[in-house]
Structures are given as C-alpha cells and as structure tokens.
Amino acid sequence: MLLASVTFTSCTTGEAETEADNSDTEPVSPQPRAEVVRAHLFDGDADGQTAFARVKEHFEAGNPGYAMTFLAAATEIAADASNRLVFVQRPVEEEPAAAEIHAGSGTIATELHVGDIAVLRPGERLTVEPAIAALVFDVPDAPGENVPAAIRPDWDPDITDVPGGCATETGAYRRILLTWLNDNGPYTFHGLNAHRVRITDSFTHYHPLDTGFDEFYLVQMSNDADRLLTSYHAEDIESPETMTPELAEQLFDVHDVRAGDLIYLPRGVIHRGLGGVLAQVITVPGFRPGAEIGVDHHLLAINERLGLKGEDALPYNVEASTEAVVR
C-alpha cells in the first residue's frame, strides 16, 4: 500500500524524504523550500498554539504585506488602519450571530454564520453577539466598492453553485465569495480569493512557485472519510518516463482532516481532497487563471508504465486523467 497516514512534515531543508525503516531507496529530486502545515484552531494547548504559530510564520514570510490572526471567541474586533477579511468559523448554532459593522458613514447591521466573511476597511469596527471564532486576514489592498460589508454565500441570491475546480460534479456545493474574474462571481478582489466548497474527489494539482498562489483549507465540516493527499514532488511526477517503483513509493502523504483544521498549502505543493470535506478554500494572492496545473494524466502514465495496479497504483482523478488540465 503506497499511502499511509502520516504527520505533516517539513521540507525547509530541501533534502529528500526517506523511508521510515531507513531502507535503501533511490532519493527523489530536491523539494521546494516550503512546508505543508496543519493547525487545529480549537486546540488551545501549547501544541495547538505552536502549530498555528508555524502556519502564521510560513504564510506571512511568503506573503509580505499580509498578516493572519485567529480569534477563538470575539464579540468585538477593534478598528485599525488595515483592510481585514474576517472568516467566520463559529458559532455553529442554526441561527446566525447578530453583528454590526461600525463605519464612519454609519452602522451596517448584518448576521454572521459559519462560512460568512465580514469585510472591515480602515477605521471600521465589528461587534457581534454571541461571540464568534474567526480567522482574520490583514490584506495590503483595499477591496473595491463592489465588495459588500458581509459576504454570505448561503443567503446571498447573487452567489449560487458554480461547479468546477475542486468540485466538478453536477450539483456540487461550490460558492465563490471573492473571485479574480467577475465571470465567476459578483465580488471581485485580487488580494485574496475564497470559495466555500464540498470536496468529494478533486483533481490532483499544484500552483506554480513563480506564478501561483498559496492556499488554505479552512475546514468547516468533515467526516471519517475525509483525506488530503499532498506531494512535494511535482518535478518527478511530471517526468513519468524517468519514474521508478522506488521513487513512486515516496511521492504522496495522506492526512486525516477534521472540522476546525486550518491547512496551509504553499505554492508548488501538489494536493488533492477526498471524502466530502466542506472547507473555505482561501488563496493568497487571488486565484490567477492558468495557475492550477493538473497532474492526474501523469499519475495515470506512471501507473501504466510501471504496471502499478490495485493497492500499488498511484491515486488519481479519473475524469482529469484523460488530458493535461490547466485552469
């Protein structure tokens, strides 16, 4: 079986990973200087705080001008000079929390529920009752006037299901809150994009180091079948003609996913979601067209070339394996 449940590992050294039993296997090519990191936002112990600090450190180092904060129970977010996007992670009750955004021009009353975003421009303050848990991004650019003070994907009639990306199946839940192109949704912003999506079987892909973007899974619902596959070895996978069985065994890690996770996927890291996880998928900067590079056709080619079948076969998305996919 090629895929085993493992913890998230660092690749900051750029050295090849080795098998846990120290067996002699051919090393893979150098990995990007990036690290997939998961923090469970509601683990308040030292380990949980350390994990979030690592996510924050890696993200902010790779994205100058951006900052990230997690608020476990906030009834107020004070005004300051930055532009902020507040991703609501709780309350989980059926009824939304009552909120007010206090701006210089007056007070905007709204409701906030899991999956919603409050948009705070410089000098604006948020009050909410009951308290919410929220992931807050400081962004260097100001959202345009077309972006409302609250973006509510399940209540806004202008935001409807748009199958594609990680959820291509008919009837997929995929609602685009902030987009690069107004062809995809009503609210455009290039500094950060977000879509709330149920990921059942996404295609396997990465975002290039030079033209791509970092990505977060802010997990809001999950079940026991949810998994995230990651690989640091895009260069090896894109060269199926040089792949060996020894290399193939090292390509993927599999990670369990649970509600409350924040998973950081840097540029250059291959990833694929499975099982039905409901997540706010956040990209920084915004989603750039042409920066989703599919590799399922390469994975199929590796299986065929090496004769890998059954449990020995590399996992791939069947629908995306018939040709090169670039989105």
Q: Are strands 83-90 and 117-120 parallel, antiparallel or unpaired?
A: antiparallel
The one-letter amino acid at 213: F
Q: How far apart are CA 47 and CA 278, in angstroms?
A: 25
By DSSP bridging, strand 227-231 and strand 270-284 are antiparallel
- Give the sign of the dihedral formed by CA 54, CA 57, CA 59, CA 62: negative
User: Per-residue pLDDT tens for 270-300?
Assistant: 999 999 999 999 999 988 888 999 999 999 9
- Class of CATH domain 31-41+153-327: mainly beta
Q: Reply yes or no on whether the pLDDT at 18 is more than 70.
A: no
**Strand (E) or helix (H) holding 67:** strand 67-77
- Which pLDDT tens digit goes with each residue over 21-52? 333 444 444 444 578 999 999 988 788 889 99
Which pLDDT score, from 0 to 100, does residue 4 have?
Answer: 33
In the predicted structure, residue 146 carries a pLDDT above the cut 60: yes
Residue 229 DSSP SS3: strand
Structure tokens that stand for 226 in this block: 């949810």
Q: Do domains 31-41+153-327 and 63-151 have the same CATH topology?
A: yes
232 and 171 Cβ atoms separated by less than 8 Å: no
At 48 the pLDDT is 84
Q: How far is CA 210 from CA 25, 42, 139, 297, in A?
A: 30, 33, 20, 22
Average pLDDT over residues 80-104: 89
Which tokens in the block code for residue 186?
């009503």
pLDDT category of residue 184 using cuts at 50, 70 and 90: confident
Report the percentage of the chain scoring pLDDT > 70.
86
Q: Does residue 20 have a pLDDT over 50?
A: no
Q: What are the pLDDT digits (tens) for 190-214?
A: 999 999 999 999 999 999 998 889 9
What is the average pLDDT across 238-244? 96
Q: Which two tokens stand for residue 179?
A: 């987009």
Report which of 287, 242, 295 is spatially closest to residue 270, judged by C-alpha positions.
295
**For 63-151, CATH number?**
2.60.120.10
Q: Where are the domains of the chain?
A: 31-41+153-327, 63-151
For position 181, what pLDDT does the model report?
87
Q: Which residue has the tokens 């999956």?
A: 115
